[in-house]
Amino acid sequence: MKALKELGRTSVPCIMRAYENEFEERKDLLAYNKQREKKLSQRMAEADEYEEIFAEEARLRQVEAGKKYGENHPKSKLNKSLVPKETNL
């Protein structure tokens, strides 16, 4: 803000995005920072973040498949240990 005021700017062009869920937002954040130079520890933390996001997306797909096909249908492949107790199937 200070730099903008010094330049006499009162606004900054930007793109506002609304995300369907937290995971889409986190994936975008990782994608936007992909080109940055990172230390090994930062790359490992990024990999952990991707792993967490992809695991949650897989869990949500399994829950949806269980709701759509029924938990005993082969297409659902629902692992009940991944489903939170408050989820109604």
Domain boundaries of the chain, sorted by first residue: 19-32+40-82
Per-residue pLDDT band at 18 (split at 50, 70, 90): very high
Whole-number pLDDT of residue 39: 94
Tell me the average pLDDT across 6-13: 88
Indicate if the pLDDT at residue 45 is higher than 90: yes
Whole-number pLDDT of residue 64: 85
Whole-number pLDDT of residue 73: 64
Q: Is 77 left (phi over 0), alpha (psi -120 to 50) or beta?
A: left
Cβ contact 34:47 at 8 Å: no
- Pairwise CA distance, residues 23 & 17, whole Å: 14
**Type of residue found at 23:** F
